[in-house]
Amino acid sequence: MDRVVVVGSLNMDTNLSVPHIPAVGETIIATGMSLFKGGKGANQAVAIARLGGNVEMIGAVGNDENGMNIIEGLKKEKVGVEGMIVKEDAPTGIAIISVAENGDNNIIVHSGANYQIGKEDIDRNIDLIKSASYCVLQLEIPLEVVKYTMDICHENKVKVIFNPAPARADIDTDMLSRVEYLLPNESELNIIAGKTVTEEDMVETCREIIGKGCRNVIVTLGEKGSLWVTESEYRYFEALKVNAVDTTAAGDSFIGAFTYMLAQGKDTAEAIEFATRAAAVTVTRKGAQDSLPVLAEVL
């Protein structure tokens, strides 16, 4: 099994159960509150480990109770923590997540220590990156650190799996040329493309991104499934119909499961089909890391 390294964010999530997602200026009463370990980077690392993958986490937490709990949680999940950094001058990141009765959510993140990670931290952990076959990245850490990590991966033939979330319009050609698999959702694709992408022009838009050097684009489409596009072909994958109660970590579950399968030597289509099943399990449960499935559940 190939090794995976995840470079990204770690948060403590506060989940609020609400009747619906509030409109601008609206005050509503939450019907419940729960604390969960989260952050896109940590979620994706745990998703891989819970399926049985060999994964290391590089990221930063504060020297506080939340940070220590997150590190201990990673250890229990069998995620490697050699690359974890404890920052003295910033708190651990937090996220406030509102989850509506129909499973919709919105998320507000305070980055804290996640935005204190620097190139020097990557340099200190460069051997972890060099020894991996795949590196998973997101955008909840500084953009220059993501770019720097991609450059190291490119120099050492480590394949980059890039989840551009939260999306930015300034993802440039240099970055995209380092990416083996770009995995945005629909709204992230709109921001990267700089336009509203319709169902009719989605394949063409993905091809435009591939023209900038990215080898594969996989767009996650929620209950509509996903779309895989390469330079020469494309394919839609249907979602499984389940009773969704919380979509919070669906994308992270998909990316973790997809990466796990690639590290197992499976092809892209098989990895997407497996990831679709993993995400379907995830949305039937509440929380971020708590909702991620083990291998037997996906199978």
The backbone region for 52, taken as left when phi is positive above 0, alpha when psi lies in -120 to 50, beta otherwise, is left
> Which residues, at least 6 apart from 166, have a Cβ–Cβ distance to it below 8 Å?
109, 139, 140, 188
Cβ–Cβ contacts within 10 Å for residue 175, how many?
22
Residue 289 pLDDT: 86
For residue range 81-109, what is the model confidence (pLDDT) as tens digits? Answer: 999 999 999 999 998 989 898 878 888 88
CB-count burial class (<10 Å; 0-12, 13-18, 19+) for 212: middle
- Looking only at Cα atoms, what is the longest distance across the chain? 52
Is the sign of the CA dihedral 298, 134, 206, 171 positive or negative? positive
pLDDT band for 269, please (50, 70, 90 cuts). very high
Query: 89 catalytic, yes or no?
Result: no
Residue 36 pLDDT: 86
Residue 157 tokens read as: 């033939």
- Which entry of 121, 246, 252, 290 is annotated as an active-site residue? 252
| Architecture of domain 3-9+39-90+115-298 in this structure | 3-Layer(aba) Sandwich (3.40)
- What is the CA angle 42-275-290, rounded to 5? 40
pLDDT over threshold 80, residue 161: yes
- What is the CA angle 214-219-222, rounded to 5? 165
Mean pLDDT computed over 273-287? 92
pLDDT over threshold 90, residue 73: yes
Which residue has tokens 């379907």? 280
Orientation angle between helical segments 250-263 and 268-282, nearest 10 degrees:
140
Using an 8 Å Cβ cutoff, are 206 and 186 in contact? no
pLDDT over threshold 80, residue 287: no
Question: What is the four-CA torsion angle of 193, 197, 203, 206, rounded to 10 degrees?
Answer: 10
Residue 45 pLDDT: 98
Percent of the chain scoring above 70 in pLDDT: 100
